Amino acid sequence: MNNEVVFVLEPDAGRVTVEISQASGQAANDLAQDLGRRVDLNCAKPASDTRYLPVLQPHPATEDESKTDPFSIWLYRLYHNSVVDGPGRRSVIQTAGCSIRCRQCFVPQTHDRKNGALVPLSSILKEIISYGADHDGVTILGGEPFDQPEPVAELVSRLKDRGIHITVYSGYTIEQLIERRASSVHYILTHIDLLIDGPFIGSMRDGAGEYRGSRNQRIVGLTNQ
């Protein structure tokens, strides 16, 4: 097995992020011990001081919140300052619930939507906007975002109203998504900037390339601005 370790250096901010998902368990543990506490993210495990990865754990909507916003999504968590989930430094909205169930998935805890909470979009937008100056864009991943396409389409619409760059991960291929012929799916695909598509395949993990968990996954540039 390759021991591929990626160091992301940000001299202007004085930060180093280490991406160790392709390293052996022993190498990863040694690095984590040398550099500090490990924080597990999606298909990557950057070693970082938790100050740089603040996480919003979802809370169920209050009655007032549900009344004021008709759109909610099943959210597993929301975190900031990721440099492994798309270009630049990003805030990440991790949805809860995935019907695909790839073998060896890195985040099985996101498969059951009940491990997250139904959160109004207004709460999510408030959190994203509070970090607006500190990120280059927003990534929506899962779980599987296209398992709840209607509220995700509304989320994309509200983010795009604010001119935010959007990357979406899906375990479905773009061809499978287009084949659904659903208006919400079409809306998402015609308004986001990047789609990283396809299931995670453990045997294709080595050499997956930037932002991806396995070699079959593609970075699809969608020219929606």
Considering only the stretches 76-84, 93-101, 113-121, 152-160, report the one whose residues sit in contact with ligand SF4 under the rule CB under 6 A.
93-101
Nearer to ligand SF4, 125 or 220 (CB): 220
Q: Which residue is nearest to ligand SF4 (CB)?
A: 171
**Residues between 41 and 70 with contacts to ligand SF4, criterion CB under 6 A:** none
102 lies in the binding site for ligand SF4 (CB under 6 A): yes
Nearer to ligand SF4, 2 or 99 (CB): 99
Report how many helices (DSSP H) and strands (DSSP E) the chain contains, helices first.
6, 10
Nearer to ligand SF4, 100 or 222 (CB): 100
Considering only the stretches 59-67, 103-111, 123-131, 189-197, report the one whose residues sit in contact with ligand SF4 under the rule CB under 6 A.
103-111
Residue 8 forms beta bridges with which residues?
17
How buried is 51 (Cβ within 10 angstroms: 0-12 exposed, 13-18 middle, 19+ buried)?
exposed
DSSP 105-132: -S-GGGSSGGGSEEEEHHHHHHHHHHTG
107 lies in the binding site for ligand SF4 (CB under 6 A): yes
105 lies in the binding site for ligand SF4 (CB under 6 A): yes
**Residues between 133 and 162 with contacts to ligand SF4, criterion CB under 6 A:** 142-144
If binding means CB under 6 A, how many residues of this protein chain bind ligand SF4? Answer: 13
Angle between helix axes 149-161 and 121-130 (nearest 10 degrees) is 40
Q: Give me the least distance between CB of 30 and ligand SF4, in Å please.
A: 26
3-state secondary structure of 55: strand
Q: Work out the angle at residue 153's Cα, subtended by the Cα atoms of residues 132 and 53, and round it to the nearest 5 degrees.
A: 35
195 lies in the binding site for ligand SF4 (CB under 6 A): no
101 lies in the binding site for ligand SF4 (CB under 6 A): yes
CB atoms within 10 A of CB 214: 20
How buried is 204 (Cβ within 10 angstroms: 0-12 exposed, 13-18 middle, 19+ buried)?
middle
Binding site for ligand SF4 (CB under 6 A): 98, 100-102, 105, 107, 110, 142-144, 171, 199-200
